[in-house]
Chains A and B, each alone.
Chain A
Amino acid sequence: MRPLTEEETKSMFEKLSKYIGENIKLLVDRPDGTYCFRLHNDRVYYVSEKILKLATNIAREKLISLGTCFGKFTKTQKFRLHVTALDYLAPYAKYKVWVKPGAEQSFLYGNHVLKSGLGRITENTAQYQGVVVYSMADVPVGFGVAAKSTQECRKLDPMAIVVFHQADIGEYIRHEESLT
């Protein structure tokens, strides 16, 4: 376990800012305590100072997880968000997509969101903008990347992909063994 280097921090922030924009500040600078990002087994954990200090008592190879896993660094040093980060992405998300109840299950099985399943979408969503996906009951179910801008979405045919799937809460079951 170690703090992130400058490059790592930067690449992670760049990825996060696609979803929550400048709201990362609220994650870094929290009034309710000190929280920080720590790297462990190539994964980035968002953890409070208190938990971090407790975790130092556990040997490195024995430590499976601590705090909230935000994602991991690939071998080529790119950052990938995991679904576990959803809890922190959803409250600060700048661009949202709501899926219809019928398409919800399909999304939770790891499929892209099609136009036919699109309930609502935030205005001004640009193409390839990171978006958080909600059910119609305003429950965050995952996140992805807008395949089309809001404007283009209007004229799409029903089977066209609107949001590329990146992570959904179905992974808690599907990828149970790899999520930390």
Chain B
Amino acid sequence: MAAISVEQVLAQAEKDEAEKLRRITVQKELELQYDLGNMLAIDPNALNERDFRQQSREHLHALARDNTQLLVNQLFGLPCERVQEAVVVKLPDCTTRLPREKPVPKPRAPTRWEEFAKLKGIQKKKKTNLVWDEVHKQWRRRWGYQRAKDNTKEWLIELPVTADPAEDQFAKRIHAKKERVAKNELNRLRNIARSSKLGKVPGVGLTPTVQPTKSELGLAMQVARRSTASVGRFQDKLPREKEPRGTGKKRKFQPLIGDFSAEKSKQLEMLKLMDSKKPKLDVTRAVNRQMREEDSEAAAKRRKSQKPGRGGKQGGNRKGGKGAKGGKGGKGRGGKFSGAKRKSK
């Protein structure tokens, strides 16, 4: 029993060892091509078609495992070191060139000067960086800090024959320099604007934005208004539209003592216009008139029906028609309100 078991154990151990070896070593007809930098292995061997047809899934699994095993074997063949309880290898440089992730950057658009230079065939001339400075008797940079022939460091400027003697030549020079810098900056921005995708940037107005603000919309409207053949002179206005503010137009008033007759005629004209715009039929007035007529009719009817019964009240009512001062009759309603009728008309 024991002998059998020993034999069995040995056989088992041998089998295990073989299995392990089989797992580690893989036999291939053609060597794999490795690119260890990318951890890449390419298997040039032909696919076993029969196996692949019969059980493609298992076959591919096995193939992948074997190839990965080979790659890992290669990796373990590399010189390794221990960093903080972990065995690491340094991968060699990649041999396969991968395509770049982003597209190749486009060349910068030529500036206006570059275009012009190309057109005219002007070529850049390389100048030496250092030049001899006679004053300091040494080689100095052509430009920049501590340059040769630095005209900003001059303590005296000869007055040009044509110049005004009172003029500050130093200030003039500084001013000219500032002007040049500003011009250069402007040109730089212009070049950017020219090359940008927006195309032409308008001198006035706006470039289109996703969500324009209120003020931007207002500005856009103003620009659109003026963009007619008559510079917006005959452009219609909305009923209560206000004059745009901040257009640089200063308000001007008529002279204090000017043409009085013209002023008068203008005002009369305005009154005429205002009068003509009034509605001909005033609805509330018409309704009121109707109501009044109905009231007076009803009152008259009442008077007729009450005639035989109450004599004293009648007199008061009649008097009231002449005005509020109509004695005690003033209390009667009709009298109180009809009094001013004559005056109003």
Chain A residues with CB under 8 Å of chain B are: 1-3, 5-6, 9-10, 13-14, 17, 22, 24-25, 28-29, 34, 36, 38, 49, 52-53, 56, 94-96, 98, 119-124, 126-127, 136, 149-151, 153-154
Contact pick for B344, options A94, A126, A151, A153, CB 8 Å? A94
List residues of B (14-60) whose CB comes within 8 Å of A's CBs. Answer: none
20 more CB-based (< 8 A) A-B contacts, given A3-B254, A94-B344: A3-B258, A5-B251, A5-B253, A9-B267, A10-B274, A14-B274, A28-B264, A28-B271, A29-B264, A29-B268, A52-B256, A53-B257, A120-B336, A120-B337, A122-B340, A122-B343, A123-B337, A123-B338, A124-B289, A150-B288
When chains A and B are docked, how far (Å) is the Cα of A13 from the Cα of B274?
Answer: 9
Classify the interface of chain A: helix, strand, loop or mixed: mixed
Contact pick for A2, options B256, B292, B336, B341, CB 8 Å? B256
Closest 4 CB pairs of A and B: A122-B344, A3-B254, A2-B253, A122-B340
Specify the chain B residue showing the minimal Cβ separation from A138.
B343
> Contacts of A17 on B, CB cut-off 8 Å?
274
Q: What is the CB-to-nearest-CB distance from A162 to chain B, in angstroms, rounded to a whole number?
A: 12
Q: Is B282 an interface residue (CB 8 A)?
A: yes
Q: Is B297 an interface residue (CB 8 A)?
A: no
Chain B residues with CB under 8 Å of chain A are: 251, 253-258, 260-261, 263-264, 267-268, 270-271, 274-275, 282, 284-285, 288-289, 291-292, 295, 323-324, 333, 336-341, 343-344
Contact A119 B324 (CB under 8 A): yes
When chains A and B are docked, how far (Å) is the Cα of A1 from the Cα of B254?
Answer: 11
> Contacts of B271 on A, CB cut-off 8 Å?
13, 22, 24-25, 28
Between A and B, 8 residue pairs with Cβ closer than 8 Å are: A2-B254, A6-B270, A28-B264, A28-B268, A34-B264, A36-B260, A96-B340, A98-B324
> Contacts of B260 on A, CB cut-off 8 Å?
34, 36, 49
Specify the chain A residue showing the minimal Cβ separation from B242.
A7
When chains A and B are docked, how far (Å) is the Cα of A95 from the Cα of B345?
Answer: 10
Contact A120 B339 (CB under 8 A): yes
> Contacts of B282 on A, CB cut-off 8 Å?
126
Contact pick for B263, options A36, A94, A121, CB 8 Å? A36
When chains A and B are docked, how far (Å) is the Cα of A5 from the Cα of B324?
Answer: 45
Contact B288 A126 (CB under 8 A): yes
> Contacts of A119 on B, CB cut-off 8 Å?
324
Contact B324 A120 (CB under 8 A): yes
